[in-house]
Structure 1
Amino acid sequence: MEDCIIVGAGPAGLTAAIYLARFHLSIRLFDCGSSRAALIPKTRNHAGFPDGIAGKDLLARMLEQAELYGAVREMFEVTRIEPLAEGFAVHADGRTFPARAVLLATGVVNKRPEGLDDPLHGEALMRGLLRYCPICDGYEVTDKRIGVIGTGDHGMREALFLRGYTSDITLISPGAGHELDVDCAAALDAAGVTRVDGPCGGYTIEGERIAVDTAAGRLAFDSLYPALGSRIRSRLAVAAGARASEDGCLEVDDHQRTSVPGLFAAGDVVKGLDQISHAMGEAGVAATTIRNMLAEQRPIRR
C-alpha cells in the first residue's frame, strides 16, 4: 500500500510529489499526459525564471526532482477512486492500487472556440496568437490589437481585465448576438471596448495575426483570448463522495482536505486563482497535511 497516490502531474501534483517523497513516504503519481501547463509556450510570470520557461520544460524539471527523491510515475489514466475502510483503492489501467491517502490534482480543461481545429489551435497557441490566461501573459499583449471571444459577465470581465494592457479590445460574441445586461454594456462602453456580434468562425493565421469571421466581417488580431470558461476535472472525486460547487470545483478546507477523509485536492480543480504559483502553494499545504495525518495513524520514523 502506497502512503499516497497523486492523480495529476501538473504543477500541483508534481509539487506534492516532491514534498511527499522528501518526507520519506512512498508515492505513486498518475499522469495521463494532459496537464494544461504543458500547453504554455513560455511563462514569464513564474518567479525564478526571468527569461521565462516553457510549460513542458518546467514540468520536466519538476518530475526529475520528484523522481530524484523516489516518487514513481505511472502513465495511466485513473478511472475510479474507491474509498475503503482503511485508505483507498485507485483503479487505473485495469489494475487496483491501494493507498493510505489520495491527492487529486487533476486541473481543468479550457473550452475552445468552436471551429478551431487541433493543428491551427496548436500553432496559434505556440505563436502567442491564441492565449487563455490574461493574468499569466497580459503583459505580452501590451498596446496590441486584442480580440476576446465571449459574452455576458464572464466575457465582460475578461475584456476589462485586458483593458489594463491595451486600449484596442474587441469583444466578439461566440454565438449570434451578445448576451449583455445593461450594467455589462455600460461598463464596456465606459472602457472603450468594441462589441461585435458573432458567430465566430473561419479561423486562419495571416502573417503575424490570427483572423476570424464575425458579423462585422473578417477581423484580424495580434492575439485572441477565448473567454468561454473551462471544464473542471473533478469527476473522480465527486464519484468518490467529495462535495463540489455548482461549477464543479472541489470544496476543501484550509488544509486542502475534501469532504471525504483522506482525500485531498489542490490546484485548478479547487476553487481559487488558476495560477501555477497558487497550485504549488496549495500542493505544499496538502502534502504537509497528508504527512501529519499519516503520522497520527502510524509514527513516521527512520
Structure 2
Amino acid sequence: MINEKQTDVIIIGGSYAGLAAAMALGRALKNVMIIDSGLPCNRQTPYSHNFLTQDGQTPANISAIARQQVAQYPTVQFLNDLATDAVQTGTGFNIRVASGDSFQAHKLIFATGIRDILPDINGLSDCWGISVLHCPFCHGYEVREAKTGVLGDGDYGLEFSRLIRNWTTDLTLFTNGSATLTPEQYALLQQQHIPVVEKRIRELVQENGYIRHIVFEDGTTAPLTALYTHAPFEQHCPLPEKLGCACTTEGYLITDHTQQTTIPGVFACGDNTTRLRTIANAVSMGTAAGIAVTKSIKN
C-alpha cells in the first residue's frame, strides 16, 4: 500500500533504466516512487549479452536482482500499476494511475521504452527477441554461422546484410516482395555472396519462438534459424508527448546531456531516447538521469 502522495521524483518504468535512476536517487536520499506495469519489451528474450558481469543471464533475472538491490534503499518505493495521465502543476507534476490513485512529484523520469510495430507475418511476433532479432551485437554470437536471414529492402537491406555477414556466411536477404535495390546494390550483395529472395512471406513456422523455416505465399519453403529485421516503433507511453516533450524525426524523445527532455523537470532515459538498445546503455543512461535529477532538486 502506497501512502505517500507527495514525493521528490516519480519514475515511470521500472526496468533497467528506471531502476538505475532509482538507485542513484535512493543513494542520494531522495524520495522516489517507481510506477511500473510489469511488461518490459524484452520479456520474450531468453538471454542478455554485452553487459559485463551479467553476460548470458536472462533479462528477467537481471531485473529481479536490480529491483532487490534498489529496494534496500528506504526512500525508494514501488507501485505495480500503469500511469495513465500526467499533468504539470505549479510545484511539479501530478501522475494518475489505472487504479485511480494520483501522486505528486517535483520531477519526472520516463524510462518507458518503445513498442515495436512488427511486420504482419504469421509467427513473427512469437519469435521476436528469440530467433527474430534486432541487434547482432546482442544476439549475433549465439547464431554465428547459422542459416540466417535479413528481412528488409533498399538501403537498409543492403547495409544490414553486409553487417550481419560478419557473423555468418550462410546469409540471405528476404525483401518480402519485389525489391527496390539498385543494380549497384545487387552487385555489392553478390560480391559478398548474399542471395536476394523477393518472394512474399506467408508464415514463419516456429517452435517455442525458434524458427524452423519460412513459408512463402507460393507455397515454397526455406529453412532458417535466425532472422534479423528493423521494425518501426512508437513510444510505449503517450504521457511525455501529452506533457509537450518533443521527439526526433525518428520518434525518440529529445534529451540534453543531463537526460532532461524539452520540458523542464521531465527527464527520460533508456530505449525511448536512443537507437542504442542494450541493457548496458539503459543502465548507464538511467544512472546519468538519477544523478542529474538529484542535482536539479533544490533542498
TM-score, normalised to structure 1, is 0.88
Match in the other structure for 1:29:
34
Residue 113 of structure 1 corresponds to which residue in structure 2? 119
How many pairs were matched up? 290
Closer, same or farther: CA 220–88 of 1 in aligned 2, 3 Å:
same
- TM-fit CA distance, 1:272: 3.8
Task: Give per-residue Cα distances to partners, 1:184-227, cap 9 Å, x unaligned.
Answer: 43433333221111321222137975211236821111112233
Measured in 1, the distance between the counterparts of 2:187 and 2:72 equals: 55
Residue 100 of structure 1, CA deviation: 0.6
| Maintained 8 Å contact 1:39/1:56 | no
Instruction: Report deviation, 1:234.
Output: 5.3
List, as ranges, runs of 4+ consecutive aligned residues in structure 1 with deviation greater than 3 Å.
181-187, 206-209
Q: 1:183 to 1:260 in 2, by over 3 A?
A: farther
User: 1:189 corresponds to which residue?
Assistant: 190
Q: What letter is aligned with 1:5?
A: I
- 2:10 is aligned, of 2, 5, 13, to 5
Say which structure is richer in helix. 1
Residue 82 and residue 157 in structure 1: after superposition, are their counterparts in 2 closer, same or farther (change >3 A)? Answer: farther
CA contact (8 A) 1:242 1:258 kept: yes
Distance 1:184 1:16 in 2: 44
Deviates more, 1:65-74 or 1:251-260: 65-74
Q: Match for 2:215 among 181, 196, 213?
A: 213
SS at match of 2:245: coil
Report Cα offsets for 1:121-140 as digits up to 9, x if no partner: 44x458x4332321201111
Identity within the alignment, %: 25
Give the secondary structure class of the aligned counterpart of 2:290.
Answer: helix
1:100 to 103, 106, 120: 106
**C-alpha distance in structure 2 between counterparts of 1:206 and 1:139, whole Å:** 21
Q: SS of 1:136's equivalent?
A: helix
Letter aligned with residue 79 of structure 2: E
Quick one: which amino acid aligns to residue 193 of structure 1?
A: I
Mean Cα deviation higher: 152-161 or 8-17: 152-161
Contact preservation (8 Å) 2:205, 2:215: no
The CA distance in 1 between the partners of 2:133 and 2:22, in whole Å, is: 29
Q: Secondary structure at the match of 2:133?
A: coil
Contact 1:38 1:59 in 2 (8 A): no
Does residue 238 in structure 1 map to residue 241 in structure 2? yes
Which amino acid is 1:253 matched to? D
Q: Report SS of the residue matched to 1:39.
A: coil
Gaps spanning 5+ residues in structure 2: where? 1-5
1:247 alignment partner in structure 2: 250
C-alpha separation in 2, matches of 1:56 and 1:244: 29
Rounded to whole Å, the distance in 1 between the matches of 2:290 and 2:184 is 43
CA distance in 2, matches of 1:184, 1:290: 47
Give the alignment's TM-score, normalised by structure 2. 0.89
Deviates more, 1:103-112 or 1:199-208: 199-208
* Aligned pair partner of 1:76 in 66, 73, 81: 81
2:3 match: none
- Alpha-carbon RMSD across the aligned residues, in angstroms, is 2.2
* Aligned-partner Cα distance in 1 for 2:105–2:122: 41
Q: Offset at 1:240?
A: 0.4
2:65 aligned residue (61, 83, 89): 61
- Which residue of 2 is the match for residue 204 of structure 1? 205
